């Protein structure tokens, strides 16, 4: 019995409220058991479903009554039956038992030899003069990737990019052919302004709260793959941006489903936890602050030419700081209004994603670790009040770690990340129901496009648009001088 109790505490906790999103599911076989190296995921299983916010369940998309072989199912039942890894223990590596060491391992370990992903980059000039980099993979379509193959849209962490090990861990499997255990998906990593070698071409940097850049990216991606369902996954700061976007868009989201990992949610509360504890402040906060300073330094030649900008004005102040904490680094992460903010807390209050949770209207999986030293405050109540949201917490995993297994692998390769199992199971499951989600089929949602001054823009939103300025450059490495994994 003692053994059973110790095993049970490793099983992830699913948090649901009293509200229920019902939908109709065509009966199918029980999912196969996944091996530890994730060589098989759910495929070829058709589900018919219609989510809704009401207590009364609806029939399928045609509005017809429930037919033979179909059943009504809540989001809880959907997750419990279609995401098997969430009902099994996640046990961290015995030599990475705490959130601190899991997080440190993300930064210090060498992941270059595992989960190799090659990208081709497209640079988009945005209407305000800024630039984002879209890294597409695989560079050569696999046999599964026709025009309807799903596209996974990735938003990275604070100063990361497509090179990050946590990104590659998921994409290496997701983009593999189905008969090799993958989803047969395409993927696009949206590298924020100035990140991962993307040039800084305007006085606006990126931030945890600005969502028009992801709107512009999705406008381009949905035009490039008009018949493909778009699925989103965000990590840390990127998870915050993704949550804000889907909460703001509601049923008009161009994404059909999303997963967010280690989202910082209430940034004011989590900043207090981060800065208020000496160890966390001296280790994590200063590491992230130093990363931002290094990123800023890499763009000094461009910033020097931005006369009259707040970014040029504030950069010398930031560079004068010695090993600054994250809260001390102040750069221009958006346009006016609302930037500039009078204090860091004012910016954090604006940028938090927890207040956007009620607006989410797509299947939404959020996973946080209880021992994450960077994210301590999790919005259980807000998530439980939205029947589209499945919040999952694990006892262990640190910040973007979730390493499992025994010893380091052959030739010193790092252990597997458990988190890719539930994320890929989630995407495999929701792919069966994407045509029932949102305002329309495929990616045909949002406002119409038009051409204005050489930019393709969304009608009624002059700052949501793009112009392709470069395409086809192969990317195999990122910004080597920054601490990775954060």
Which pLDDT value is given to residue 473?
A: 87
CB 91 within 8 A of CB 402: no
Which pLDDT value is given to residue 224?
A: 95
Helix (H, G, I), strand (E, B) or coil at 259: strand
- With CA atoms as reference, report the closest residue to 48 among 37, 58, 40: 58
Helix (H, G, I), strand (E, B) or coil at 154: strand
Which pLDDT value is given to residue 8?
A: 64
Which pLDDT value is given to residue 411?
A: 61
The pTM of this model reads 0.88
Angle between helical axes of 165-174 and 420-430 (0-180°, round to 10): 40
Q: State which residues of the chain have pLDDT below 50.
A: 1-5, 26-64, 440-442, 477-481
CB 239 within 8 A of CB 219: no
**pLDDT tens for each residue of 245-255:** 999 999 999 99
Which pLDDT value is given to residue 2?
A: 33
Residue holding tokens 């699913």? 14
How many CA atoms are closer than 13 Å to the CA of 320, on its beta-carbon side? 6
Calculate the alpha carbon distances from 368 to 39, 46, 261, 348, 409 in Å. Answer: 24, 29, 6, 19, 26
The C-alpha angle 237, 238, 244, rounded to 5 degrees, equals 95
Which pLDDT value is given to residue 462?
A: 87
- CA-to-CA distance for 199 and 317, rounded, in angstroms? 22
- CA-to-CA distance for 97 and 256, rounded, in angstroms? 35
């Amino acid at each position: 019995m003692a053994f059973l109790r110790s095993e049970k505490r490793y099983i992830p906790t699913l948090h649901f409220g009293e509200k229920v999103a019902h939908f109709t599911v065509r009966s199918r076989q029980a999912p196969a058991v996944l091996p530890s190296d994730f060589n098989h995921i759910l495929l070829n299983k058709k589900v018919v479903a219609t989510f809704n916010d009401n207590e009364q369940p609806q029939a399928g998309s045609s509005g017809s009554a429930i037919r033979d072989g179909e059943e009504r199912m809540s989001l809880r039942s959907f997750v419990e039956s279609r995401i098997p890894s969430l009902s099994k223990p996640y046990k961290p590596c015995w030599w990475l038992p705490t959130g601190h060491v899991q997080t440190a391992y993300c930064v210090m370990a060498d992941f270059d030899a595992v989960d190799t992903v090659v990208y081709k980059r497209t640079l988009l000039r945005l209407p305000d003069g800024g630039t984002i980099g879209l890294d597409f993979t695989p560079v050569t379509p696999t046999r599964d990737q026709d025009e309807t193959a799903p596209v996974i849209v990735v938003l990275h962490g604070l100063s990361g990019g497509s090179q990050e090990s946590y990104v590659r861990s998921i994409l290496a499997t997701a983009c593999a052919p189905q008969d090799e255990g993958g989803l047969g998906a395409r993927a696009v990593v949206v590298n924020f302004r100035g990140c991962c070698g993307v040039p800084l071409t305007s006085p606006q940097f990126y931030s945890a709260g600005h969502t028009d850049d992801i709107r512009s990216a999705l406008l381009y991606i949905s035009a490039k793959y008009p018949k493909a369902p778009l699925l989103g996954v965000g990590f840390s700061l990127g998870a915050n941006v993704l949550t804000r976007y889907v909460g703001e868009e509601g049923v008009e989201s161009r994404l059909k489903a999303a997963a967010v990992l280690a989202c910082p949610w209430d940034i004011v509360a989590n900043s207090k936890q981060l800065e208020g504890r000496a160890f966390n402040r001296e280790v994590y906060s200063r590491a992230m602050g130093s990363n931002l300073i290094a990123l800023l330094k890499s763009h000094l030649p461009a910033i020097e030419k931005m006369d009259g900008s707040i970014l040029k004005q504030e950069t010398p102040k930031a560079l004068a700081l010695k090993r600054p904490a994250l809260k001390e680094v102040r750069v221009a992460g958006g346009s006016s209004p609302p930037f500039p903010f009078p204090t860091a807390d004012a910016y954090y209050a604006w940028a938090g994603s927890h207040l956007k949770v009620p607006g989410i209207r797509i299947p939404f999986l959020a996973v946080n670790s209880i021992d994450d030293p960077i994210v301590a405050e999790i919005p259980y109540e807000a998530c439980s009040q939205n029947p589209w949201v499945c919040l999952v917490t694990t006892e262990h995993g640190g910040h973007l770690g979730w390493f499992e297994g025994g010893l380091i692998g052959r030739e010193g390769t790092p252990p597997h990340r458990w988190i890719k199992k539930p994320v890929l199971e989630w995407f495999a499951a929701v792919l069966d129901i994407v045509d029932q989600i949102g305002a329309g089929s495929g990616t045909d949602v949002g406002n119409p496009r038009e051409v204005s001054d050489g930019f393709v823009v969304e009608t009624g939103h002059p700052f949501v648009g793009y112009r392709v300025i470069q395409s086809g450059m192969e990317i195999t490495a990122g910004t080597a001088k920054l601490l990775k994994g954060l």
